[in-house]
């Protein structure tokens, strides 16, 4: 309990990157609603109100999912966990690259479940660890991976939406029209452009990367481990296949949930314990049983 309380205190402590993200969200929201929408469409006109409501909803979902990703525990390995090598329902046990022993964390003093890794920043093992993200001051793991993905999705939509409104407002208003604009509005447009363009590009790349990972049921760590495993397999004349790749649709539902209507909602009630994951061997076993 004391260790868990210490970990929670670390997540709740001041984080400069988190402060930067919160400040950027606040600045983008205020400039979009009270400058771009207001000066282009009129904030209290029908189009202005409609755009303000839609953008506010997207911003709210971004903030809500971001908060959840920051404060949610990504998944902790139970202290009582021990792999059962005689369990016929578990067709795969991950082993060390060297020696072939079951994966054991010397720092945490317990066995590691499949897909779990030790985080040097959080100083503990995380279930289905993807990576440690400084921008949420937390690991992205089994419990908060979907929520992190939803945050990135809404952040991309918000940035592109704001950028469209910026360009529309700029075209309508005329940035350099001295009669209409004072220096403060020009500054808002310039800062917003310098913020939104690189941010939109970076977030789109990040979103595309995680869409690729989800479709292949991979994590960032597993991807780089898989590249090495593929190279070693080809060198040895064999074929390597990621054992958790169940096919695009199965991979999607395993992360986002079985109900397509909840895919863009930041909840993850379907994920299970994180101690065992379906593999291609389960599919093979099911196919052979049905014959």
Nearest one of 204, 209, 187, 207 to 264, comparing CA atoms: 207
CA distance linking residue 46 with residue 52, whole number of Å: 10
Q: Is the dihedral of CA 65, 153, 224, 137 positive or negative?
A: negative
Residue 77, helix vs strand vs coil: coil
Q: Which residues contact 138 (CB under 8 A, 6 or more apart)?
A: 11, 69, 70, 71, 72, 74, 122, 132, 144
Catalytic residue among 105, 108, 119, 133: 133
Residue 141's CB: how many other CB atoms inside 10 A? Answer: 28
Residue 134 near residue 167, CB atoms below 8 Å: no
Residue 159 known to be catalytic: no
- The DSSP symbol for 176 reads T
CA distance linking residue 40 with residue 58, whole number of Å: 20
Q: Which residues contact 53 (CB under 8 A, 6 or more apart)?
A: none
Residues known to be catalytic: 133
């Amino acid at each position: 309990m004391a260790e868990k309380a210490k970990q929670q205190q670390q997540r709740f402590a001041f984080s400069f990157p988190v402060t930067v993200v919160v400040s950027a969200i606040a600045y983008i929201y205020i400039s979009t609603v009270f400058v771009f929408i207001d000066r282009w469409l009129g904030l209290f006109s029908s189009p202005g109100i409609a755009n303000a409501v839609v953008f506010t909803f997207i911003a709210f979902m971004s903030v809500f999912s971001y908060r959840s990703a920051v404060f949610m525990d990504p998944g902790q390995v139970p202290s009582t966990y021990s792999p059962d090598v005689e369990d016929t329902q578990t067709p795969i046990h991950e082993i060390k690259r060297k020696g072939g022993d079951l994966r054991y964390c010397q720092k945490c003093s317990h066995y590691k479940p499949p897909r779990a890794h030790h985080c040097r920043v959080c100083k503990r093992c995380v279930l289905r660890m993807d990576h440690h993200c400084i921008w949420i001051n937390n690991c992205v793991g089994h419990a908060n991976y979907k929520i992190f993905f939803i945050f990135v999705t809404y952040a991309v939509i918000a940035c592109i939406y704001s950028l469209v409104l910026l360009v529309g407002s700029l075209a309508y208003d005329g940035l350099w029209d001295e009669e209409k604009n004072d220096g403060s509005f020009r500054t808002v447009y310039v800062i917003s452009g310098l913020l939104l363009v690189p941010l939109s590009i970076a977030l789109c790349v990040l979103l595309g990367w995680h869409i690729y990972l989800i479709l292949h049921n991979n994590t960032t760590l597993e991807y780089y481990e898989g590249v090495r495993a593929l190279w070693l397999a080809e060198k040895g004349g064999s074929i390597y296949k990621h054992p958790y790749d169940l096919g695009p649709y199965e991979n999607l539902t395993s992360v986002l949930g079985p109900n397509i209507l909840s895919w863009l909602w930041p909840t993850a009630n379907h994920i299970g314990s994180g101690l065992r994951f379906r593999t291609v061997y389960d599919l093979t076993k099911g196919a052979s049983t049905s014959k």
